């Protein structure tokens, strides 16, 4: 079983739900940069105050800010981990590669979960987060297509990418994730 993983996919595709399921089943560290940033915002830390305005607009926060969070968490993690919502652009992916080289812990697999925009928008409107108004959702999808989607080619070129269909029930998607991770890829 692969144990150092990245989930890629547009907002609303179910990454967070699937990541939480897999991590509780496999005892991996679930590292969601969005969740960690929301915790900083709620605690009104300096980092949270810097991030809040950008997050509410659907913009990405600065690479340095996110990298500091990820580096701290991965440096102390001795078991498996799953990155959910990171990396979000090519420069974050390069920085991650450098960090993992230093830690001698290469990525085992990157799963790209895909779904049509209209279904994504419907799902996110139901979720009702403060950054989930229709206008901001459409903007976040645009940011995803522009900045994050290039990572699909990036990881495909490295030979670690598998595509997962995001349609169907939570169980169906989690089964297909589990099968992919158990196979030799």
Instruction: Write out the DSSP string of 26-67.
Output: HT-EEEEHHHHHHHHHHTT-HHHHHHHHHHHHTPPPPHHHHH
**Any contact of residue 61 with ligand AMP (CB under 6 A)?**
yes
Q: Which of 10, 58, 80, 166 binds ligand AMP (CB under 6 A)?
A: 58
Chain-centroid distance of CA 61 in Å reads 14
The interface region with ligand AMP, picked from 31-39, 106-114, 115-123, 168-176 by CB under 6 A, is 31-39
Least distance to ligand AMP, CB of residue 54, Å: 5
Task: At 58, give phi and psi (nearest 5°).
Answer: 85, 10
137 or 173: CB nearest ligand AMP: 137
Q: Which of 28, 81, 86, 155 binds ligand AMP (CB under 6 A)?
A: 86
β-pairing, 4-8 with 161-165? unpaired
Q: Which of 19, 23, 55, 177 binds ligand AMP (CB under 6 A)?
A: 55
Give me the residue whose beta carbon is nearest to ligand AMP: 34
Chain residues binding ligand AMP by CB under 6 A are 11, 33-34, 37, 54-55, 58-61, 66, 85-86, 88, 92, 140
């Amino acid at each position: 079983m692969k144990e150092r993983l990245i989930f890629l996919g547009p907002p609303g595709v179910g990454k967070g739900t699937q990541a939480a399921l897999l991590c509780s089943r496999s005892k991996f560290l679930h590292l969601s940069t969005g969740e960690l940033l929301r915790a900083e915002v709620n605690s009104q830390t300096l980092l949270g105050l810097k991030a809040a305005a950008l997050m509410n607009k659907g913009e990405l926060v600065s690479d340095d800010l996110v990298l500091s969070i990820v580096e701290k968490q991965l440096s102390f993690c001795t078991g498996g981990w799953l990155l959910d919502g990171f990396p979000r652009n090519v420069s974050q992916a390069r920085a991650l590669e450098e960090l993992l080289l230093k830690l001698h812990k290469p990525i085992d697999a990157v799963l790209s979960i895909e779904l049509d925009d209209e279904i994504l928008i419907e799902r996110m409107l139901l979720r009702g987060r403060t950054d989930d108004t229709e206008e901001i959702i459409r903007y976040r999808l645009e940011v995803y297509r522009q900045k994050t989607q290039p990572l699909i080619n990036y990881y495909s070129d490295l030979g670690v990418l598998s595509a997962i269909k995001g349609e169907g029930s939570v169980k169906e998607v989690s089964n297909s994730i589990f099968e992919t991770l158990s196979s030799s890829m």
